[in-house]
Structure 1
Amino acid sequence: MSNKPLIILGQNIPEGKRTVLDIEVAKLHTRTTVKVPVIIERSKIEGPVILLLAGVHGDEINGVSIIREIIDQKLNVPKKGTIICIPVFNIFGYLIQTREFPDGRDLNRMFPGTLNGSLASQFAHQFTQEIAPFVDYVIDYHTGGGERDNITQIRLDSVEEKTLELANVFNPPFVVHSSYIAKSLRESLKKMGKTVLLFEGGKSKNLDPVVIHHGIRGTKNVLIHLGFIDGEVSLALKPTFIKKAKWLRSNHSGMFKILVENGTHVKKKDILGVIQDPFGEFKKNIYAPFDCHIFCINKTPIVNKGEALFHVSIEE
């Protein structure tokens, strides 16, 4: 018996073959068409559809590298079901290494989008109408914005048992509770009934080999667990679960010297870093206010008073 048709971007996706489609975003001022490649591998055996998507923010390239390696290792060729890869979603931002769309908007605050809105909103609408309805699972790969360096983590709403199960299968160092953000891709997909893992690791404009390794291993685990590919799930870690968190902010402006490793557990009154002036006259330690895990560090060398420096767990 033949599988039911799978129509994506107006094309019927054949069974047992690789199909590469393009989302046509817009034209540059030179009239050159900008296209987003969509790589689809569909098995001859009926099964679920998973989307691996990176580069929602154009300067977050760890996820791009993760999906690139997934494709290179042929882990995206399923024994059943369909695996869709979009390594670079915000192609505009990727080209010039900026977070935003050319209209200055954050694409991850534009979903589900509108037909006649801003460029980012139109692009979000096209994805929501022509790709999102056909997927069952999504892994959305991100990094910290700017100089914020995230330890490898999966973010989710901890009340969702199915998502939490998949997060543990992904097996990252950290699993972090994160409420839904209005008009984000993750929220829009949730409203459509999709199961979404939000991957965070490293910082923008940087390729981190440790983060990329965790991302490949975790993605492979999920693909095996859901039956897309053969293999054994590798549970190499015991993830640290963070239900509540807060940012530790700078009480002073100055040069920021970091004294702890990202991902470590610290005790109350441990020195995490130092704020100092360039003239050798001012130096203030930053202390841990309580026992906590550090799962993101702002690695900017110069900080202003009130700037977020360390994202830490609030332990219960």
Structure 2
Amino acid sequence: MSAAETQNWFGHDVAPGESLSTELVVSESYSSRNVSIPVNIRRGLQPGPTVFVTAALHGDELNGTGAIRTMLSDKEWSLQSGTVLMIPVLNMLGFERHSRYLPDRRDLNRCFPGSASGSMASRLAKVIFESLIARCDFGIDLHTAAVRRTNFPNVRADLSHPDCRRMAEAFGSGIILHTKGPKGSLRREATRAGCPTIIVEGGEVWKVESSVVECMTRGIFNVLMELKMMSGEPDIPDTQATIRETKWIRAERGGFLAMHVSPGDSIVKGQAIATNSNLLAEDQNRLEAPFSGIIIGMTTLPAVQPGEPVVHIGRLSNPKSVRRHEKQVAGDEIQRTAHEHLATNIQVVEATVEEPRENAD
């Protein structure tokens, strides 16, 4: 889409160099009143691509909302070319209920591209897809971990798609996961429709965490610089870990967890991850890393039952890769700050050395 001429967004003309805050009507409430989502349209003076940046597609995931609000209140940056759409809350019905889901209990991020004659969620998805996504050339969708979990900031993208890979690497999170995304998810369907889209995961629900917001805002500006929509060069770590395989390590027994790792930690195969015991700290059971990798995400709830997820590990090829990632995080102030900040939300204790049992007489 050219940015050299006046564009019409939701009934408003936006000329090159202008910025407009408006709303898009997406549905109706039980009282028959309109349900709208806020949108800021910012345009450069020169022609260029149109990029959407969305948050709170799951209504309780607010770190992305904080990141977009930070960008909206920051007067120091300007757009040279193209158009940026910033939507701080995409799932308004979920947001107002502090819920991941819509009132009909459906996950909006499994309903794209939507249907005009389907469920409420499907109809809502269709309006969003046709009014916003279909008019864009690239997309960035901001998320957090699900409830009772936290994620170290990471980018997820279909790396087989050249433009998705380009954006993922330019974002500069330090960790890139190769996934196409679930069927019906915004980023998967947007990419299929010709709008290459990446998602960013970081932090917890119901919070705006400063270190995660900083990772997200830097990454968004990096992508805009990569697309030549802003002046400057992207601030990207010297190396980034590309993850093609992940695994959730689950509790073997019920009990209370003593964690030995925190989000973003590098680990080696066989390393102690958590010790599970009863409330009197007896009858211990230890979970160990099945391979070398990175702690992408983990539970924030110390009490578990058998089968519940404890840590999400991204596989690295070998211990050398583990050391390289440790060095990369230590050398990048934003990642280092996020690592230190997220670790304070979890009590991490040193794993005790198990003493060998003596044979009974």
Partners of 1:24 and 1:75 in 2: how far apart?
30
SS at match of 1:144: coil
The one-letter code of the counterpart of 1:177 is H
2:90 is the counterpart of 1:89: yes
RMSD: 2.0
Q: Who wins on radius of gyration, i.e. which is larger?
A: 2
Moved more, 185-194 or 274-283: 274-283
- Which residue is 2:334 aligned to? none
Partners of 1:57 and 1:76 in 2: how far apart?
28
Alignment of 1:45-56 (within 5 A): 45-56=46-57
Partners of 1:3 and 1:242 in 2: how far apart?
39
- Which residue is 1:149 aligned to? 150
1:42-85 Cα distance to aligned partner (Å, 9 max, x none): 22322111111111001000000111111111477411111110
The one-letter code of the counterpart of 2:178 is H
- Which residue is 1:19 aligned to? 20
- Which residue is 1:139 aligned to? 140
2:121 is the counterpart of 1:120: yes
- Which residue is 1:7 aligned to? 8
- Which residue is 2:43 aligned to? 42
Partners of 1:96 and 1:183 in 2: how far apart?
23
Partners of 1:76 and 1:25 in 2: how far apart?
30
Count of aligned pairs: 316
The one-letter code of the counterpart of 1:144 is A
Task: Say whether the 8 Å CA contact 2:152–2:201 is kept in structure 1.
Answer: yes
Task: Say whether the 8 Å CA contact 2:3–2:16 is kept in structure 1.
Answer: no
SS at match of 1:305: coil
- Which residue is 1:258 aligned to? 259
Moved more, 132-141 or 67-76: 67-76
Q: 1:165 deviation in Å?
A: 2.2
SS at match of 1:92: helix
SS at match of 1:120: helix
Q: 1:29 deviation in Å?
A: 3.8
Task: Say whether the 8 Å CA contact 1:171–1:238 is kept in structure 2.
Answer: no
TM-score (normalizing by structure 2) = 0.82
Q: 1:226 deviation in Å?
A: 1.1
1:86-144 Cα distance to aligned partner (Å, 9 max, x none): 01001111112110011111000010111122221111101111221211110000111
The one-letter code of the counterpart of 1:109 is R
Task: Say whether the 8 Å CA contact 2:94–2:100 is kept in structure 1.
Answer: yes
Task: Say whether the 8 Å CA contact 1:172–1:237 is kept in structure 2.
Answer: no
Alignment of 1:1-316 (within 5 A): 3-4=4-5, 6-74=7-75, 77-316=78-317
SS at match of 1:93: helix
SS at match of 1:241: strand
The unaligned stretches of length 5 or more in structure 2 are: 318-361
SS at match of 2:46: coil
